Structure 1
Amino acid sequence: MSNTQQKIDEQIEQEREQARQVCDTSGSTSGECAAAWDAVEELQAEASHQRQKPQKTSFEKYCDDNPDAAECRLYDD
């Protein structure tokens, strides 16, 4: 697990604890409770996004392996 991923996971746990406290104080149907859990969901979405690695296309892989191939050349206008 990367250091960034570990930090996000720690933030998620902190936000969960805070959401539980807010909901205990304000009530489970309060706007504050909903907002606190929204913050948790946003962090979870970010964590999921961080875990996803961009997938290269077959063409990109080909060009990585064959940078001098005519079809892989880039030209400036």
Structure 2
Amino acid sequence: MTNNNIEEKIEQEREVARNACDVSGANSKECAAAWDVVEELQAEASHQKEHKPKNSFETYCDDNPDAVECRVHDN
């Protein structure tokens, strides 16, 4: 699931959670379960942002750490 798709899914599940709480009450098991789903999706979105895939330049520098363009200079 891409980050854009997961954000859309989070919004959909928020609406489901709001409706569940409106119908069943804020202290109901249904309400709590619905918000648990939202929380799990938010955690997954955060995890995906944390572990973004490397771009082609980063992969190149991993394979060629001594290449001039990959050297890091401290000023």
**TM-score in terms of structure 1 length:** 0.67
- Structure showing greater radius of gyration is 1
In 1, distance between residues paired with 2:51 and 2:40?
A: 19
Task: Quote how far apart the aligned CAs of 1:4 are.
Answer: 0.9
In 1, distance between residues paired with 2:21 and 2:3?
A: 27
Task: Quote how far apart the aligned CAs of 1:63 are.
Answer: 6.2
Change (3 A) 1:63 1:40: closer
The root-mean-square deviation of aligned C-alpha atoms, in Å, is 2.2
Task: Quote how far apart the aligned CAs of 1:34 are.
Answer: 0.2
Opposite residue 22 of structure 1, the aligned amino acid is A
**TM-score in terms of structure 2 length:** 0.68
Opposite residue 26 of structure 1, the aligned amino acid is S
1:46-61 aligned at under 5 Å gives the runs 46-53=44-51
Q: Percent identity?
A: 61
How far does the alpha carbon of each residue in 1:33-72 deviate from its partner, in whole angstroms, 9 at most, with x for none?
0000000000000000110127xxxxxxx86325xxxxxx
Change (3 A) 1:63 1:48: closer
Please tell me whether residue 65 in structure 1 is matched to residue 64 in structure 2. yes
State the aligned residue count: 58
Q: Give 5+ residue unaligned stretches, structure 2.
A: 53-60, 66-75
Match of 1:71?
none
Q: Give 5+ residue unaligned stretches, structure 1.
A: 55-61, 67-77
Match of 1:7?
5
In 2, distance between residues paired with 1:63 and 1:25?
A: 54
Structure 1's consecutive aligned runs of 4 or more residues displaced over 3 angstroms after TM superposition are: none
